[in-house]
Structure 1
């Protein structure tokens, strides 16, 4: 994870070195706390200069300062992880490897070939001195954030950055760089035209793949251009070159009658483990579940092992809980996070703990009006005392405070913890209860979270952005090692289950779409979900998690996982004729059952904003798609 930034100056005015404010540097440095460096490249005879700023979170190989510069004056900023496609040795740094390959490319096709081969998340900025060109972009899924901003002031004609940073007054708002391709700017030509001309190189699917769908992916130049200021021109690159997508296109086949496979559970509205076992009795579905386990396990393996590890120091048995975790999981106890935890357990060294980060926002207090001693209120307090903290006794005076955080995700999280402890009692599972009050939410939204969520600005973005920020910060109470104690995770890698619902029909809107318009409409909906995940989710989550000097990793969006799921017809992934808790994400539920998980296998989907109860803290009349007034005012430190 890194904070990267580039400011393009087409005027050669002095003072470019100081264009990034101290506040801007702080925002970038939070993403990359291990090293910071700034470099200005000036081409006086051609009338332009560029400021490059790099801030590194050290995770692999030797600590490498960014921006990198080579003997040919090429400059490179990289915020990514190479998990495959390009050979990176166990002790190598992938930034250096990628820069070496890029510097060796002497053609546009060479650069495209290199980037399309990378497996893993990335955003990059590359200055190619020989051609006076600036290349930049995000990976096919958009798993790393990159924003752009354009300005009529030619000294700051364009800025590229990982995160919304405060600059001086500008002519346009920050926007996410579309993940539908990569871009190139001819800086020498920009000086002569006094405008910014972007050339696009869109992604396309391999036309040899035998699937019923258009092979050139959507890259809507008019729509992208509409959102750009007048000084910016956007066009397809002149040779019409594309990058080959790293994932297979979606299988849009409509299956016929599936003999031998149950399609209904009768009148039952509640899914049970016995129902899942019935489906596992079908060899075809069982085989697919094991294929998913294998490909997802490999995705998790790469994401929990490709990081810098300190030498394990043997601790006495009495202090074994003091070992530090390198990997944390955003954990609700739902099917997605449970599967990630179970697969992480396969690959994280046994002597390392795994941190399970469980966030809850304060609900209304249980006690009624002053002096109220109603029977109902006493029953609520008694029930809360019994269920609020099963790990140990709590002080009676703390019942209301603790149980105000007894939200649905906290309840399922504790239940999930017990399943994991039964699955591997030798593992140290740190269940971290992260409790957020309304006052702290308001304070941190104003100070930190607002600028991270932007340029997204809906009520839903606010709710999820805040929930993910507090969860990934990882400061709370560790409750499952004796008495609850304050705990702060030091894990630099945070796994999240995003991508499972989008691919496996996990949202309630998918069931509604299927029931109202049929299977073809559901397939179109899932295709749209995956196509827009970069703009709706991933850039925001990368910015929010990265603010803590941690790296978000998304196993469900591994290229091989997506290709495997895309290769399957819809009915092999989900069966929405079945009840909630089994029909959606059916293949994942079957895989979870085969992994040895129990009740979590049949938990219905519950969105994070509802499970954590952050949605209950704000205006109940708001719609998720409404513009969020709480994000309109930024606190610039």
Structure 2
């Protein structure tokens, strides 16, 4: 994970640093605490200037300060991880590997071929000195944040950065669309004193006619959000990046496309773990479940092993088991997504190394009075028969002096139950169940200090709820139970695994049931296609900015290219069956995989979004809706809060 930033101005007389402020630079440094560097390129005869900032989080190979520059004056900023497509040796740094490959590219087609081959998340900025061009963009899913801001027409300046800060000026930041990669011909732009962008879009292999129509649609979509004085054109050669995944299989069998009139929510009482066993008796389905488990297992393996594990400075050996620290954390609710990720991570993380399970809970005084933890726990026990209430619940939280029972939200309860399942699967593993408790006062304080900048430019109530929950969870400050005693703990894990992408591909949201009920499988297929297409702008840029603020890297196994292609190859009926009750029908193939991995009660937990499971939703306003603009994310003084 890195904080990268580039400023381009077509007037070399401008003081280029004036386009950035200290708050922005601070946000960039928090993303990359291990190395910081800047570089300015001034081309006087062409009257353009480029400023490059790089802040590095060291995860692989030798520490490589950014920006990197070669003997030919090419400059590269890289915020990514290569998990396939281009070989990166165990002792190599992927920034150096990518820069080396780029230096060998002699044409636009070569550059596009290189980025098309990559597997893994990335955003980048590349200055090609010999051609006076600037390339930049994000991966197909937009798993790494990159924002842009254009100055007024007279200034002809572009700023690119991993993260931004809100400003009261009229020039606002936007996320760079993950629609392809962009090129700026700086020589031509300097001559006209105006910025013009060339787009090289992603596309599947398809007919020439479909390709042209697709190019036009992408161009229109990106153009509508640009300032009027910024010109966007399709590359004249109609070159493109090849999508790293296959198109969605929309095949529908006759019977499976019908939606029964029965409301499945009325029959949730029949759900049991044995329900899943019946599906696994079918040889074809069991074979698919094993194939899915294998491909997801490889995705998790790549994400927990591709990082440097520290050695003792004196002996150069790994420390003893008792003193080892966690390098991998999981955003953990005890739900099906996080449970499967944790169970698969256990197969590959070195045996003596702990795994941090990051579990967040919010407390409001009003809620504490209205809902006792006993009632919440009892409600869940009716469904799942989970005995998970903590002994000694009258203990006080060390920071807030609030009874710990006030933090017994649904995700805390299922999280503790999930911990027991994982301990049963591997009792020799140290599972650090990190209980992260957040009061309303701390929520307001940290949102005002930094979280609202990280969520920006997104601005809805939903963005606020999810963004704040993920920020506190990934920070990892809470406590763990040590021989029955509560011990303050801060997770040192640099890699944080997230389950995002499972619901979008496997019909996990309640809106998918609504869609299926109205429009059948054909409508559901269309909805899932839209879900994956908008995940870059709706989720991933925000989540990357949030998690990286702690000097940690977000990794998303369910969005591994091989996982997405495998799931996209299956008809919807093989992945989910929304005629079945909640807790079984949605994400059916994942629940079956979890059963095969040895998980139990967690396999039939219904989907519960983090904003509800952590109890942050409605914490500050009971009347607002998820899609409303969130006033709490606007620039406010402390007095106004």
TM-score, scaled relative to structure 1? 0.92
Whether 2:506 is the aligned partner of 1:504: answer yes
User: Deviation at 1:225?
Assistant: 1.4
Q: In 2, are the aligned partners of 1:31 and 1:55 still within 8 Å (CA)?
A: yes
Deviation at 1:207, TM superposition (A): 3.1
Provide the residue aligned with 1:119 in structure 2. 119
User: Is the 8 Å Cα contact of residues 27 and 549 (structure 2) preserved in structure 1?
Assistant: yes
Aligned partner of 2:436 in structure 1 is 434
Residue number in structure 2 paired with 1:630 = 632
| Residue 311 of structure 1, CA deviation | 2.5
Contact 1:3 1:163 in 2 (8 A): yes
Tell me, what secondary structure is at the counterpart of 2:38?
strand
Question: Distance between the aligned counterparts of 2:237 and 2:99, measured in 1?
Answer: 25
User: Partners in 2 of 1:397 and 1:100 — Cα distance?
Assistant: 55
Q: Secondary structure at the match of 1:564?
A: helix
RMSD: 3.0
Give the superposition deviation at 1:18.
5.4
Deviations 1:226-274 (A, max 9, x none): 2111220011111111110000110011123479xx9999984232111
CA contact (8 A) 1:392 1:482 kept: no
Q: Runs of 5+ in structure 1 lacking a partner?
A: 370-375
Give the distance between the partners of 2:43 and 2:632, measured in 1 at CA: 43
- Written as runs of structure 1 = structure 2, the 5 A alignment for 1:235-384 is 235-257=233-255, 268-270=267-269, 271-311=271-311, 320=322, 322-364=323-365
Which range is displaced more, 555-564 or 5-14?
5-14
2:544 aligned residue: 542
Partners of 1:443 and 1:635 in 2: CA distance: 11
Please state how far the C-alpha of 1:635 moved relative to its aligned partner: 7.2
Pick closer, same or farther for the CA change 1:46–1:364 going to 2, 3 Å: same
Residue in 2 that maps onto 1:486:
488
SS in 2 for 1:115: helix
Q: CA deviation at 1:360?
A: 0.3
Counterpart-to-counterpart distance in 2, 1:421 and 1:381: 24
Q: 1:601 aligns with which of 597, 600, 603?
A: 603
Deviations 1:198-246 (A, max 9, x none): 10000011239xxx99995885322321211122001111111111000
Q: CA-to-partner distance for each residue in 1:542-598, whole Å, 9 max, x for gaps? A: 000000000000000000000000000000000000000000000000000000000
What is the distance in 1 between the residues matched to 2:521 and 2:255? 13
SS at match of 1:581: coil
Superposed displacement of residue 86, structure 1: 0.2
Displacement of 1:13:
1.4
Q: CA 1:275–1:132 in structure 2 vs 1: closer, same or farther (change >3 Å)? A: same
Q: 1:112 to 1:56 in 2, by over 3 A?
A: same
CA contact (8 A) 2:156 2:193 kept: no
Contact 2:330/2:497, CA 8 A, preserved across alignment: yes
SS in structure 1 at match of 2:353: coil
* Secondary structure of residue in 2 paired with 1:623: coil
Distance in 2 (CA, whole Å) between partners of 1:49 and 1:309 is 39
Cα separation, 1, equivalents of 2:549 and 2:319: 32
- Aligned residue in 2 for 1:373: none
Tell me which residue corresponds to 2:527. Answer: 525
Measured in 2, the distance between the counterparts of 1:412 and 1:43 equals 59
Q: Which runs of 4+ in 1 moved over 6 A?
A: 212-215, 262-267, 312-317, 376-384, 386-389, 396-400
Per the alignment, do residues 104 and 225 of structure 1 end up closer, same or farther by CA in structure 2, a change over 3 Å counting?
A: same
The residue number in structure 1 matching 2:200 is 201
1:228 aligned partner: 226
In the alignment, what sits opposite 1:372? Answer: none
Change (3 A) 1:218 1:603: farther
Please tell me whether the aligned partners of residues 451 and 634 of structure 1 are also in contact (alpha carbons under 8 angstroms): no
* Structure 1 counterpart SS, 2:579: coil
Q: Distance in 2 between matches of 1:397 and 1:102?
A: 56
Contact persistence 2:140–2:202 (CA under 8 A): yes
Q: What is the rounded CA distance, in whole Å, between the counterparts of 1:51 and 1:171 in structure 2?
A: 22
Change (3 A) 1:324 1:564: same
User: In 2, distance between residues paired with 1:628 and 1:164?
Assistant: 18
Looking at structure 1, the residues matched to 195 and 75 of structure 2 have their Cα atoms a distance apart, in angstroms, of 20
Match of 2:86 in 1: 86
Conserved 8 A contact 2:183-2:199: yes
| Structure 2 unmatched ranges of 5 or more | none
| Structure 2: distance between partners of 1:381 and 1:115 | 49
Q: CA deviation at 1:22?
A: 2.5
CA distance in 2, matches of 1:555, 1:221: 30
